Amino acid sequence: MSYRLLLPSKTKRVKDLIISVLAKGAARSPKLLHNTLQKQWALSVTYQAVFKALQELCEEGVVLRKRQGYTINPKWLSEVEGIISEIKKSLFSKNLREHRYEGDVQTLIFDTFEAADEYRKMLQTDYFQHASKQYCSESAHLKSPLIFSEKSLSILELIKKSGTKCFLAVRGNTPIDRWCADYYRNELVDVKTGVACAQDCDIMVLGDSIVQLYIPQEVAASLDHIFSQAKQIADISVPALYTKFYKRKALVKMVITKNPELAERLRQRIRSFF
């Protein structure tokens, strides 16, 4: 089974883009996949190349061929999730600058947004494995579908398994924000862009805990610029985004507060946007 981490990027690798399309959930035929790649990604590729890539993905155990078409292999997702978990732990230990406790408040300082985001995803994964309350968040922009489609897909799979209702409020309303919102939307996940939220920090409400992620202003501004300049997904340079935002050296603070009453109030406020 292949554990290659697939990235739907401007490099337009056929296998990676097939994964991105199948991540929408619906089983697809080779013909429908070929048409989608041409229309959505303006990808110049033959039907034969798409069919060959599908066969290789099936051989690698990444994709399953069913009577109704092709779909993502859940077993592959689970195994990739395990690998990602180990990567998260490694990045966390290497890039954590400071970690302190003050009563029910934890403060973590990371060297990059990349390290902070790895830890954030780890918290999400742990939560959806035993979620008892609705998940609510507010953020300046949604980013993971652009950089880490397999991580986003794993989270969506966990949401489906747990049956957790989710509300994602997003301040940005660019074409890229709306594309990322569509990537996440399903019967359990509601996403609304253009919301007056996340002015100072991104927020996740995980049960009785609140996670606040404070990104330095100059780093956040670089992401705003990248999103505002792109008119379509093909305009995004994933390597540039990763370098200028994810790997840029900057102290990123995460504050985790356990406060059931405040967490419930935040859930209600975020749900009020929908």
Residue 133 clears pLDDT 80, i.e. is over it = yes
* Most confidently modeled range among 74-78, 146-150, 207-211: 207-211
For the chain, percent of residues with pLDDT exceeding 90: 36
Cite the beta strand spans of 68-143 per DSSP E.
69-72, 96-102, 105-112, 135-139
With cut-offs at 50, 70 and 90, classify the pLDDT of residue 145. confident
For residue 5, what pLDDT is reported?
47
Neighbours of 60 (CB within 10 A): 15
In the predicted structure, residue 1 carries a pLDDT above the cut 50? no
Q: What's the pTM value of the predicted model, to 2 decimals?
A: 0.65
Cβ contacts of residue 49 below 8 Å, gap of 6+? 14
Rounded to whole angstroms, the Cα distance separating 176 from 87 reads 27
Query: Positive or negative CA dihedral for 238, 29, 61, 158?
Result: positive
CATH topology of domain 14-72: Arc Repressor Mutant, subunit A (1.10.10)
Average pLDDT, stretch 44-72? 86
Distance CA 62, CA 157 (A): 15
19-28, 37-46, 259-268: range with lowest mean pLDDT: 19-28
Rounded to an integer, what distance in angstroms lies between the CA atom of residue 209 and that of residue 47?
49
- pLDDT recorded at residue 152: 74
Residue 248: is its pLDDT beyond 50?
yes
Q: Which of 221, 118, 238, 119 is nearest to 176 (CA)?
A: 238
Beta pairing, strands 202-206 & 209-214: antiparallel
The mean per-residue pLDDT over the stretch 49-69 comes to 86
What pLDDT, on a 0 to 100 scale, did the predictor assign at position 269?
96
Which residues, in sequence order, are bridge partners of residue 98? 109
- Report the pLDDT value the prediction gives residue 180, as an integer from 0 to 100: 92
The pLDDT tens digits of the residues spanning 30-51 come to 888 888 888 877 777 888 888 8
**Region 79-108 average pLDDT:** 69
pLDDT at residue 25, as a whole number: 65
Task: Give the domain ranges of the chain.
Answer: 14-72, 83-271
Closest CA to 245 of 111, 95, 113, 91: 113
Q: What is the CATH number of domain 83-271?
A: 3.30.870.10
CA 181 centroid distance within chain? 10
Enter the DSSP assignment of 185.
-
